[in-house]
Amino acid sequence: MTGSDSKSRQLVLASTSPYRRQLLARLGVEFEVFAPAVDETRLANEAPERMVQRLAEAKARAGSVRYPRALIIGSDQVAVCDGDVLGKPGDHASACAQLARLSGKPVSFQTGLCLYDAGADRVRATVVEFVVAFRELEPESIERYLRREQPYDCAGSFKSEGLGISLFERLSGEDPNALMGLPLIRLVTWLNEAGIPIP
């Protein structure tokens, strides 16, 4: 989506994720999309929740050169299991191994969210957690799921908005949208306070 209307502030999503774009579009607001050039390397001994908040803010701030007066949304997410950060699998074999490791275990998805008012140099940032408990997964189930959905660009090797729901035993958290990468409940509150009325 492009442009902004005269009744509201210019809104920018600093993300290349099609999932975040789809989520933000659900709010019915006009926004532009910006691809932030941010080094996403984890710092030494950096806690996952600190990392995602730092990266969400860095992505939002990266848009201020191009959009000096906009409200810019940044977000970043990691999946954590047994204290280890899980990356995007990238291919079938890695996704098989990742889901086999997650079988029967809880996985914490930490999603950093930032709304940066570039004109006022004001930052609002937080981390929203959502926990997924995986059911016991047989190798055949993993194989069938991956062949059908091919979630190789998703941390945790699943798409919760699709067939990935079949892999879960239980979900818990304040906002299911956080699991897909953009905590809309918190974001709506911030956007309303910043002068973008929703609904």
The catalytic site residues sit at 76
Using DSSP's 3-state secondary structure scheme, residue 50 falls into helix
Residue 163: count of CB within 10 angstroms of its CB: 15
Closest CA relative to residue 190, chosen from 78, 44, 84, 73: 73
Residue 16 in tokens: 């290349």
Assess contact for 110 and 48: CB atoms under 8 A: yes
CB atoms within 10 A of CB 193: 10
Structural element, H or E, at residue 180: none
Q: Are strands 84-86 and 71-81 parallel, antiparallel or unpaired?
A: antiparallel
